[in-house]
Amino acid sequence: MKITIIGTGYVGLVAGTCFADFGMDVTCIDNNTQKIESLKRGIIPIYEPGLEELVNKNYNAGTLKFSTDTSHLNEADILIIAVGTPAGKDGNADLSSIYSVINDIIAHVKTNKFILIKSTVPIGTAAILRQTLQDKCKNLKFDIISNPEFLRQGSAVRDFLEPDRIIIGSQSKDAKEIACKLYGPLILKDIPILFTDNNSAEIIKYAANTYLAMRVAFINEISDISEKLAGDIDDIAHGLGLDKRISKHFLHPSPGYGGSCFPKDTLALSKVASEANANCLIINAVIESNIQRKLRMAEKIIDTFNGNIRGKQISILGLTFKAETNDLRDSASIDIINELIKHGARIKAYDPKGMSEARKIFGTKIEYCKDSYDAASNCEALCILTEWAEFKTLELDKLNALMLNPTIIDLRNIFSPNEIMKAGFNYISLGRTDIIMDNECRNYQKLKVS
Ligand code: UGA
Give 206's DSSP letter: H
Look at residue 92 in the predicted model and tell me its pLDDT.
87
Question: Could you tell me the end-to-end alpha-carbon distance of the chain, in angstroms, rounded to an integer?
Answer: 67
Ligand 1 midpoint to CA 402 (Å): 34
Which of the listed residues 149, 164, 203, 212 should we mutate to test ligand 1's pocket, taking the one with most ligand atoms within 8 A of CB? 212
Q: What is the pLDDT of residues 78-134, one digit of tens each?
A: 999 999 999 898 888 899 999 999 999 999 999 999 999 999 999 999 999 999 999
57 CB under 6 A from ligand 1?
A: no
Inter-residue contact 383 to 298 (CB < 8 Å) = no
Helix (H, G, I), strand (E, B) or coil at 340: helix
320 CB under 6 A from ligand 1?
A: no
212 CB under 6 A from ligand 1?
A: yes
Which of the listed residues 261, 289, 388 should we mutate to test ligand 1's pocket, taking the one with most ligand atoms within 8 A of CB? 261
Look at residue 439 in the predicted model and tell me its pLDDT.
60
Atom of ligand 1 nearest to the CA of 251: 36
Which of the listed residues 222, 250, 319 should we mutate to test ligand 1's pocket, taking the one with most ligand atoms within 8 A of CB? 250
Q: What's the maximum distance between 2 C-alpha atoms anywhere in the chain?
A: 85
153 CB under 6 A from ligand 1?
A: yes
Taking the C-alpha atoms of residue 139 and residue 158, their distance in angstroms, rounded to an integer, is: 41
Residue of minimum CA distance from atom 36 in ligand 1: 250
Identity of residue 157: V
Atom of ligand 1 nearest to the CA of 322: 28
Is it the case that residue 139 has pLDDT exceeding 90?
A: yes
Look at residue 421 in the predicted model and tell me its pLDDT.
83
Ligand 1 midpoint to CA 51 (Å): 19
Taking the C-alpha atoms of residue 301 and residue 244, their distance in angstroms, rounded to an integer, is: 35
CA quadruple 117, 18, 330, 221: dihedral positive or negative? Answer: positive
205 CB under 6 A from ligand 1?
A: no
Ligand 1 midpoint to CA 154 (Å): 10
159 CB under 6 A from ligand 1?
A: no
Q: What is the pLDDT of residues 361-410, one digit of tens each?
A: 999 999 999 999 999 999 999 999 999 999 999 999 999 999 999 999 99
Ligand 1 midpoint to CA 140 (Å): 39
Is it the case that residue 449 has pLDDT exceeding 90?
A: no
251 CB under 6 A from ligand 1?
A: yes
Residue of minimum CA distance from atom 29 in ligand 1: 257
Residues designated as active site = 261
Look at residue 435 in the predicted model and tell me its pLDDT.
75
pLDDT band at 438 (very low <50, low <70, confident <90, very high): low
Inter-residue contact 414 to 384 (CB < 8 Å) = yes
Taking the C-alpha atoms of residue 295 and residue 126, their distance in angstroms, rounded to an integer, is: 37
Residue of minimum CA distance from atom 7 in ligand 1: 150
Taking the C-alpha atoms of residue 226 and residue 220, their distance in angstroms, rounded to an integer, is: 10
Q: What is the pLDDT of residues 49-67, one digit of tens each?
A: 999 999 999 999 999 999 9
23-37, 166-180, 277-291, 412-426: which range is least confident on average?
412-426
Q: What is the pLDDT of residues 233-276, one digit of tens each?
A: 999 999 999 999 999 999 999 999 999 999 999 999 999 999 99
Q: What is the pLDDT of residues 14-24, one digit of tens each?
A: 999 999 999 99
